[in-house]
């Protein structure tokens, strides 16, 4: 069969790599793809939000399954448009994707269906939001309602920082229309973990845990990013698997169904865990990036039959087989990210790495210029390794990072170290 992956980041490179391993698949396309994806899939110059172009390509090339990577086309309704044409597609509908597309919708869903989360209030009026912050203990969190590439969450350690955050989001429109509505919520302490589950809207098939590193600098300092690295499994969540399913994942999927949003695809819960207490920070409607990279490297089962079953609304798989060991992804980003950065920086040292199933450099923000791979985004590469122990996996990843690092790239030095503790 032929499969089309929509997107062009590190998550999509990992998805193409995993899908390409399936004995069911004869060809993988990716739209638009990147310089790394082109080595394992045919990249098609169609935007992830050009639904008409993607549908035409799918029909003309007899593509039997489309897999959507990023949240933006999902939130814009790509699944609805494909299903109108009778085409199989993996991902939630526009209505169901609101669980990521609107933090207000997500928080209200959690409240209604008794999913543990931080106390919060929502605002569309800047003055009322500013007045509310004066009633709060610090720190507190300000979140833009809509999609903001993982950067619309600001931790405020004082009233003054809260005023700056609210002015930036609501008045200066730092995230555009995403900031028309904001959530202000209680700051939670503990360890963050990411938890994913496949679902057809009724049946729920959990994946193993992972942990992202959102902040730009070591020690979780500096502004939030789309993710500077991840590892799997995350020990902090391993002993709480059943509770995460019963208290977070199943109620969310059931609640969405009760709201008329039959959720099909993969649901991602960002969690805060503190002394055995579990609270949901947020939900996302797709694989995490960079969590997808270590998760898919560890996943032993064929992913394609699961995706086909979900696209048909009939998930029959009851378990996923996993490789016994740990996987780590270290993100290498453009200098200046998550602020302003330059594009077009040549990556001359990529050939230093000989890739295999236990060590892969997944491309995120790259493109080809005159047969040279150059940077084309904030997060550029995801160096991903597998080993029997977390410590060995970390060492393997950083040896590779040292071999390909350039002056124009930055990366954290502490990815996965929380797991060692």
How do residues 353-401 score in pLDDT, each as one tens digit? 888 889 999 999 999 998 899 999 999 999 999 999 999 999 999 999 9
Model confidence at 118: pLDDT above 90: yes
CA distance 201 to 245: 14
The pLDDT, as a whole number, for residue 143 is 94
Model confidence at 71: pLDDT above 90: yes
CA distance 383 to 39: 16
330 bridge partner residues: 229, 383
Model confidence band, residue 149 (pLDDT cutoffs 50, 70, 90):
confident
The pLDDT, as a whole number, for residue 354 is 86
CA distance 359 to 355: 5
DSSP track, 364-397: SSEEEETTEEEE-SSEEEEEEEEESSHHHHHHHH
The two three-digit tokens of residue 299, written as one number: 């996943």
The pLDDT, as a whole number, for residue 99 is 97
Contact 198, 279 (CB under 8 A): no
CATH topology of domain 191-311: D-amino Acid Aminotransferase; Chain A, domain 1 (3.30.470)
Give the predicted TM-score (pTM) of the model: 0.94
**2-93 placed in CATH 3.40.50.20:** yes
CA distance 241 to 251: 14
CA distance 15 to 292: 8
The pLDDT, as a whole number, for residue 58 is 98
Model confidence at 148: pLDDT above 90: no
> Which residue in the block uniquely carries the two structure tokens 């593509």?
63
Model confidence at 236: pLDDT above 80: no
The pLDDT, as a whole number, for residue 255 is 97
3-class SS string, 278-306? EEEEEEECCCCCCCHHHHHHHECCCHHHH
Q: Does residue 338 have a cis bond before it (omega within 30 degrees)?
A: yes
**125-180 placed in CATH 3.30.1490.20:** yes
The pLDDT, as a whole number, for residue 46 is 98
Could you give the 3-state DSSP secondary structure of residue 103? helix
Write b or e for each residue in 80-113: b if 16 or more Cβ atoms lie within 10 A of its Cβ, otherwise e.
Answer: bbbeeeebbbbbbbbbbbbbbbbbbbbbebbeeb
Model confidence at 182: pLDDT above 90: yes
The ranges assigned to domains in the chain are 2-93, 125-180, 191-311, 326-420
CATH number of 326-420: 3.90.600.10
Model confidence at 333: pLDDT above 90: yes
Model confidence at 238: pLDDT above 80: no
The pLDDT, as a whole number, for residue 405 is 95
The two three-digit tokens of residue 97, written as one number: 């994707």
Of 96-100, 240-244, 411-415, the least confident = 240-244
Q: How many Cβ atoms sit within 10 Å of the Cβ of residue 206?
A: 19
What is the average pLDDT score of the chain? 95
Q: Which of 119, 101, 99 is nearest to 109 (CA)?
A: 99
The pLDDT, as a whole number, for residue 256 is 97
Of 58-62, 105-109, 272-276, 351-355, the least confident = 351-355
Model confidence band, residue 263 (pLDDT cutoffs 50, 70, 90):
very high
The pLDDT, as a whole number, for residue 119 is 93
Model confidence at 421: pLDDT above 90: no
Q: What is the mean pLDDT of residues 89-97?
A: 97
DSSP track, 214-264: -EEEGGGEEEE-S-SEEEES-HHHHTTHHHHIIIIIHHHHHHHHHTT----
Model confidence band, residue 224 (pLDDT cutoffs 50, 70, 90):
confident
Model confidence band, residue 59 (pLDDT cutoffs 50, 70, 90):
very high
Contact 92, 69 (CB under 8 A): no
Rounded to 10 degrees, what is the CA torsion of 217, 218, 222, 227? 60
Model confidence at 152: pLDDT above 90: no
Residues whose CB is less than 8 angstroms from the CB of residue 29 and which lie 6 or more positions away in sequence, other chains included: 2, 3, 4, 5, 41, 42, 43, 44, 57, 61, 63
The pLDDT, as a whole number, for residue 82 is 98
CA distance 143 to 270: 14
> Which residue in the block uniquely carries the two structure tokens 């993100």?
331
> Which residue in the block uniquely carries the two structure tokens 């009233």?
159
How do residues 16-49 score in pLDDT, each as one tens digit? 999 999 999 999 999 999 999 999 999 999 999 9
């Amino acid at each position: 069969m032929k499969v089309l992956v929509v997107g062009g980041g590190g998550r999509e490179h990992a998805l193409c790599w995993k899908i390409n391993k399936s004995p069911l698949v004869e060809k993988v396309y990716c739209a638009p793809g990147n310089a790394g994806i082109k080595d394992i899939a045919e990249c098609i110059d169609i935007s992830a939000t050009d639904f008409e172009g993607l549908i035409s390509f799918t029909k003309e090339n007899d593509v039997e399954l489309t897999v959507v990577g990023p949240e933006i086309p999902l939130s814009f309704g790509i699944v609805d448009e494909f299903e109108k044409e009778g085409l199989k597609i993996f991902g939630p509908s526009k209505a169901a994707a609101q669980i990521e597309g609107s933090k207000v919708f997500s928080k209200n869903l959690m409240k209604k269906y008794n999913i543990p989360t931080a106390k919060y209030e929502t605002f569309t009026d800047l003055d009322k939001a500013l007045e509310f912050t004066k009633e709060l203990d610090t720190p507190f969190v300000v979140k833009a309602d809509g999609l903001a590439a993982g950067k619309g969450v600001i931790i405020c350690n004082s009233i003054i920082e809260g005023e700056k955050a609210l002015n930036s989001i609501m008045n200066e429109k730092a995230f555009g229309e995403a900031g028309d509505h904001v959530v202000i919520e209680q700051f939670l302490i503990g360890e963050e973990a990411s938890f994913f589950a496949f679902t057809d809207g009724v049946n729920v098939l959990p994946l193993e845990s992972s942990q992202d590193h959102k902040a730009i600098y070591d020690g979780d300092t500096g502004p939030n990013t789309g993710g500077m690295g991840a590892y799997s499994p995350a020990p902090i969540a391993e002993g709480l698997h059943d509770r995460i399913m019963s208290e977070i994942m199943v109620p969310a999927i059931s609640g969405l169904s009760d709201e008329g949003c039959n959720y099909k695809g993969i649901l991602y819960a960002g969690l805060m865990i503190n002394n055995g207490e579990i609270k949901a920070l947020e939900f996302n409607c797709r694989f995490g990036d960079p969590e997808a990279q270590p998760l898919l490297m560890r996943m032993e089962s064929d992913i394609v039959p699961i995706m086909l079953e979900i696209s048909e609304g009939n998930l029959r798989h009851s378990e996923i087989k996993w490789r016994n060991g740990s996987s780590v992804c270290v993100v290498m980003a453009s200098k200046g990210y998550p602020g302003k950065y330059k594009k077009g920086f040549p990556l001359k040292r990529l050939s230093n790495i000989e890739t295999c199933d236990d060590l892969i450099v997944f491309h995120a923000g790259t493109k080809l210029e005159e047969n040279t791979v150059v940077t084309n985004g904030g997060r550029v590469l995801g160096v991903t390794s597998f080993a029997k122990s977390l410590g060995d996996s970390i060492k393997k990843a950083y040896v590779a990072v040292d071999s390909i690092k350039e002056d124009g790239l930055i990366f954290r030095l502490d990815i996965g170290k929380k797991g060692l503790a």
